[in-house]
Amino acid sequence: MRLGAATRPSETENESWERFEALYRSSRDDVYAYVLTLLGDRAAAEDVTAVAFERAYRRRRTFDRHRGDERGWLFGIARNAALDELRRRRRTATLVVDPEDVSEDALAADGDEDEDEVVRRAAVREALAALAPRERELIALKFHAGLTNAELASVLGVSESNAGTLLHRAVQKLRRAVNAPV
């Protein structure tokens, strides 16, 4: 045996790492946006995103292409990590203050948005807050994470047609809430 041969990673380990790195680069912002939508707390979302990628890295060899694609698998892990955080929060004392909220003034200053855009964003935020948690999760997975209906189905453990139906109902409910008279 050559010196250092036992410590050198094999080709399959290198390929596994490269595939994981590509998944990380293509999905990190989407995973963070999804987790932030579920938790509503930027710091916690950063931590949970890191936990999700750590879990995915440790389990990368268990991924089975026959059961779905890597993004769906990753978002399933992120979902479970976020739900673990929400359960942990429930067991601990309630927060003294609400999680950081983005004010309308901050939104306007950030993107030089006009007043109508600020009002529309506020209406969407309020409508999202009024949705059931499962509906908010569907919206986040579809529009923040950009998952397909097949990936949604994989993450949620339902059929693809059921995922599409649930998503359609959630979007319709969101539209009605946004367009409801004040």
Does 164 have pLDDT greater than 70? Answer: yes
Share of the chain above pLDDT 90, in %: 31
Backbone angles phi, psi at 44, to 5 degrees: -65, -40
How many Å apart are CA 70 and CA 148, to the nearest integer? 12
Strands (E) in 24-147, as ranges, are none
Given pLDDT bands bounded at 50, 70 and 90, which one contains residue 80?
very high
Query: Do residues 161 and 106 touch, judged by C-beta distance below 8 A?
Result: no
Kindly report the pTM of this predicted structure.
0.61
Q: 154 CB contacts (<8 Å, ≥6 apart)?
A: 67, 68, 69, 72, 73, 76
Asked whether the beta carbons of 45 and 32 are under 8 A apart, the reply is yes
**Once rounded to an integer, what is the mean pLDDT over residues 153-175?**
90
9-100+131-179 is classed CATH 1.10.1740.10: yes
Say which DSSP state 103 is in: -
Mean pLDDT of 112-141: 82
| Mean pLDDT computed over 36-50 | 92
How confident is the model over 94-103, as pLDDT tens digits?
433 344 444 4
CA atoms of 128 and 182, how far apart (whole Å): 16
Mean residue pLDDT of the chain comes to 80
Token pair, residue 159, equals: 């059929």
Q: Could you give the percent of the chain with pLDDT greater than 70?
A: 81
57 pLDDT above the threshold of 80? yes
Placement of tokens 């698998």 in the chain: 73
The domains of the chain are located at: 9-100+131-179
